[in-house]
């Protein structure tokens, strides 16, 4: 096994915390706080692109978390973001980490927001990619025709669907998607079982609950004081960029960065830029999110 | 005089090009293309914050341009962005510069967009701060109450009005505004005459013309191929951030960066971040705007 800190080779570990046994991977080192990585809809530890995790692991420990009911973690997927946040908080406390940084992608970013509300001191800095606030709009409506056409296409199988869903319908974005898929399959053994319809159903229910809000809309965001970097592909059809606009308008201390020619997977498409920007953001000690 | 390349000390120069004699300043050196800086509503050469221009001048020549009818430049302020773009193009050609980078702030960014449409090879990379596309909304409506209250307040004089208009109504943003004003008055001699009502009137007419559009709205932007960095303060009341959203959604190759707790003058408020980000963007040779 390579000694390079990488999600391609890091062994899957397990932690008993509360009532569950969580799968996770932990690799890398450096002066930064540990970076907790929270995953997208149906994604497992194997869905973290090494081109994103590995460069970040050169400056800090990267900790990939598998929530309850996914992969080899025990338990059941909660039907709410709050339920998922409780699992992630139990895991971080189980690791005896008092404060860390967080990278939440898509569903994982919603979990990160809820964690910051439930436990205000748990995060130092937050990175929210392809995300939406509570009360956001058009969050993961897989039934809409522009997404359903890929999910219902019998000629697309496995990762080929992910490539269509995560990347924009341009030659350049699809080529980046193909490279992304190639990186995901580099890990040869010790892989997680794929998510089934039960996982998807509970997570979709959580998205629907997350779309609900009480007045004032986006009011919760004022309570998230952490410097936050919000990132989004400009042509994201799974969680439209307008949701990232609302995040950066209502979070008191957020920088927004959007990428051109890209969809939900813009962080994977522009992994060199993304890891450079995130590393610079995390390296900052400023009270402001501006970096 | 200091030998440091700075807008505080750089002498004002003059160039005869076409029918006009343009005032400008040129300072700095380095491996980058020259950076043409195009100024905001009623602003002269003296309104360029040395905290923005000087760090950028350490990697390239910075060229500050005074358009016709402003400061000591001859001629009349055109009542259209197209007219201003013609002056700027004549100036760049008069300097014998075949291609450069551009930083356009507010009105200056509209001029930069028009120049890119009229002369597609003139710019290598574009930075558009506090900007709006043709057909944008709520562009510099100084008559609206939220802005008029400062312009009509008899207790606010000179730069104090600018501080209120350019910075958000928070203690932190207003403190940054005070520091900004302090930097603007560091230049002691060789200053430009202030703009009068004739300048303001013609520029406001140009904003009103820029709000007009023919279908498809924002269609012109598809023709601007340059990698572009779009920046905006999230609480900009002079040119709302929605205009920067439309720019980054419709320009084929643009990254958007927004700053928290700031208004129209976010680039001056976060000058350290801004110059770091702009320098990184300009240093990139990638065909993509992602940097």
ipTM value, please give it.
0.97
- In 3D space, the residue among B46, B88, B53 whose CA is nearest the CA of residue B67 turns out to be B88
Residue A1 pLDDT: 43
A45-96 pLDDT tens trace: 999 999 999 999 999 999 999 999 999 999 999 999 999 999 999 999 999 9
Q: How far apart are CA B71 and CA A200, in angstroms?
A: 64
Which residues does chain B have within 8 Å of residue A257's beta carbon, measured at their own beta carbons? 255-257
Q: How many Cβ contacts (< 8 angstroms) between chains A and B?
A: 65
Q: How far apart are CA A43 and CA A54, in angstroms?
A: 18
Per-residue pLDDT tens listing for chain B (291 residues)? 446 899 999 999 999 999 999 999 999 999 999 999 999 999 999 999 999 999 999 999 999 999 999 999 999 999 999 999 999 999 999 999 999 999 999 999 999 999 999 999 999 999 999 999 999 999 999 999 999 999 999 999 989 999 999 999 999 999 999 999 999 999 999 999 999 999 999 999 999 999 999 999 999 999 999 999 999 999 999 999 999 999 999 999 999 999 999 999 999 999 999 999 999 999 999 999 999
Q: Which residues of B touch A (CB under 8 A)?
A: 234, 241, 245, 248-249, 251-261, 270, 272-273, 276, 288-291
The pair of structure tokens assigned to A115 is 């964690």
| Percent of chain A whose predicted confidence (pLDDT) is above 90 | 98
Residue B1 pLDDT: 43
| B257 Cα to chain A: minimum distance (Å) | 5
Tell whether the model's pLDDT for residue A193 goes beyond 60.
Answer: yes
From the candidates B285, B288, B289, B291, which should be mutated to test the interface with A, based on the most A CB atoms within 10 A? B288
A163 pLDDT tier (thresholds 50, 70, 90): very high
Residue B2 pLDDT: 46
N-term to C-term CA, chain B:
36
Which residues does chain A have within 8 Å of residue B241's beta carbon, measured at their own beta carbons? 245, 249
Strands B123-129 and B62-65: unpaired
* E-only strand ranges, B80-167: 100-105, 123-129
Nearest CB to B273 within list A259, A261, A290: A290
Residue A3 pLDDT: 63
Q: pTM score, two decimals?
A: 0.98
Residue A2 pLDDT: 46
B220-279 pLDDT tens trace: 999 999 999 999 999 999 999 999 999 999 999 999 999 999 999 999 999 999 999 999
Nearest CB to A256 within list B258, B270, B291: B258
Residue B3 pLDDT: 63
Which residues does chain A have within 8 Å of residue B234's beta carbon, measured at their own beta carbons? 248-249, 254, 256
Work out the angle at residue B171's Cα, subtended by the Cα atoms of residues B195 and B105, and round it to the nearest 5 degrees.
35
């Amino acid at each position: 096994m390579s000694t390079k800190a990488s999600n391609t080779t890091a062994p899957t570990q397990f932690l008993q915390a509360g009532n569950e046994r969580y799968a996770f991977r932990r690799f890398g080192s450096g002066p930064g706080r540990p970076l907790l990585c929270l995953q997208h809809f149906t994604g497992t530890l194997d869905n973290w692109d090494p081109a994103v995790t590995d460069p970040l692991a050169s400056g800090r420990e990267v900790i990939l978390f598998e929530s309850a009911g996914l992969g080899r973690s025990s338990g059941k997927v909660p039907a709410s973001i709050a339920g998922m946040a409780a699992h992630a908080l139990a895991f971080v406390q189980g690791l005896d980490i008092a404060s860390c940084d967080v990278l939440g992608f898509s569903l994982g970013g919603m979990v990160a927001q809820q964690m910051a509300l439930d436990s205000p001191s748990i995060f130092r800095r937050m990175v929210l990619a392809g995300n939406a606030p509570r009360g956001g709009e058009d969050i993961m409506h897989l039934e809409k025709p522009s997404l359903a056409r890929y999910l219902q296409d019998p000629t697309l199988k496995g990762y080929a669907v992910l490539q269509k869903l995560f990347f924009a319908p341009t030659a350049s974005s699809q080529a980046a998607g193909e490279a992304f898929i190639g990186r995901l399959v580099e890990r040869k053994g010790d892989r997680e079982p794929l998510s089934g319809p039960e996982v998807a159903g509970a997570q979709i229910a959580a998205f629907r609950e997350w779309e609900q809000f009480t007045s004032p809309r986006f009011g919760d965001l004022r309570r998230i004081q952490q410097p936050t970097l919000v990132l989004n592909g400009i042509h994201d059809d799974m969680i439209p960029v307008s949701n990232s606009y609302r995040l950066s308008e209502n979070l008191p201390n957020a920088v927004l960065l959007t990428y051109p020619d890209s969809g939900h997977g813009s962080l994977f498409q522009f992994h060199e830029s993304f890891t450079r920007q995130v590393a610079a953001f995390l390296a900052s000690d400023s009270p402001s999110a501006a970096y």
